[in-house]
């Protein structure tokens, strides 16, 4: 009886190992697709923000304008390909005649691809999408958003802080929205010795779309 249980357990483990091996091929296929498609959009700026804003929302309008200005300045635009801020940015870039990249993620809720991306990729894995949105970007723009936006923000800041990626402009758009977070970082996190003053200088808070684009252009032309 004991021998049979061991055989059954080994059979299950072998099946799991086989499935994990095939999963590696799926992951590799997604990276290959991105690495083949995205070099043509360089230099690009990745934009992040809430999926839960609509065309009449000021955040939507601001994202669309920033994307238009980025295209006029010679940049492509990359988003997560979904609704809300992502849709606005893809719309602005596409209507301005630039590369408008949407790297959509398959989710059960909130993530139908928007129709404005003229370069479309669909990913199963969040970490693959994160790599692609970072690898081909020379700057990052964060508009107001929720958990996903915060996750991307702190991951990018950590990569810059630890020099895993080159120094790049990271911009938080909307001082009224980001102000309380910045205050907490200054008065609690830095004051407690968890980060340094230099770490607080890894990002800028701006409100005007033209200032956002000017800042990115100046930093990029300086070789950042």
Residue 16: the pLDDT is: 57
Q: What pLDDT is stored for residue 119 in this prediction?
A: 95
> What is the CA 214 to chain-centroid distance, rounded?
20
Q: Note whether 120 and 102 are within 8 A (CB).
A: yes
> What confidence score (pLDDT) does residue 25 get?
86
| Confidence label for 163 from pLDDT (cuts 50, 70 and 90) | very high
Delimit the domains of the chain by residue range: 40-221
What is the pLDDT, as a whole number, of residue 222? 66
The confidence score (pLDDT) of residue 143 equals 98
pLDDT at position 12 over 50: no
User: What distance in Å separates the CA atoms of residue 74 and residue 52, rounded to the nearest whole number?
Assistant: 29
**What does the pLDDT look like over 57-89, one tens digit per residue?**
999 999 999 999 999 999 999 999 999 999 999
What pLDDT does 23 receive? 84
pLDDT at 224 over 50: no
Give the pLDDT confidence of 165-223 residue by residue, as tens digits.
999 999 999 999 999 999 999 999 999 999 999 999 999 999 999 999 999 999 887 64
Could you give the percent of the chain with pLDDT greater than 70? 88
Q: Give me the CATH code for the 40-221 domain, please.
A: 3.40.50.450
pLDDT bracket for residue 111 (50, 70, 90): low
Q: Is the confidence at residue 14, as pLDDT, over 80?
A: no
pLDDT at 11: 47
Q: What pLDDT score does 9 carry?
A: 53
Q: What is the pLDDT of residue 5?
A: 57
């Amino acid at each position: 009886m004991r021998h049979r249980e061991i055989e059954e357990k080994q059979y299950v483990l072998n099946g799991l190992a086989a499935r994990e091996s095939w999963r590696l091929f799926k992951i590799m296929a997604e990276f290959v697709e991105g690495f083949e498609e995205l070099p043509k959009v360089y230099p690009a700026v990745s934009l992040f923000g809430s999926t839960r804003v609509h065309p009449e929302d000021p955040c939507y309008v601001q994202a669309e304008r920033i994307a238009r200005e980025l295209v006029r300045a010679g940049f492509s635009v990359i988003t997560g390909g979904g609704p809300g801020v992502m849709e606005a940015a893809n719309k602005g870039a596409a209507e301005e005649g630039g590369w408008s990249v949407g790297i959509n993620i398959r989710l059960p809720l909130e993530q139908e691809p928007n129709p404005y991306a003229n370069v479309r990729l669909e990913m199963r894995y969040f970490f693959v999408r994160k790599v692609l949105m970072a690898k081909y970007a020379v700057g990052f723009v964060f508009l107001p958003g929720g958990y996903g936006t915060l996750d991307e923000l702190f991951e990018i800041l950590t990569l810059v802080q630890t020099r895993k990626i080159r120094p790049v402009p990271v911009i938080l758009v909307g001082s009224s929205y980001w102000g309380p977070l910045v205050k907490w970082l200054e008065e609690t996190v830095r004051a407690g010795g968890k980060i340094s003053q230099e770490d607080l200088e890894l990002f800028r808070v701006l409100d005007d779309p033209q200032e956002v684009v000017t800042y990115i252009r100046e930093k990029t032309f300086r070789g950042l």
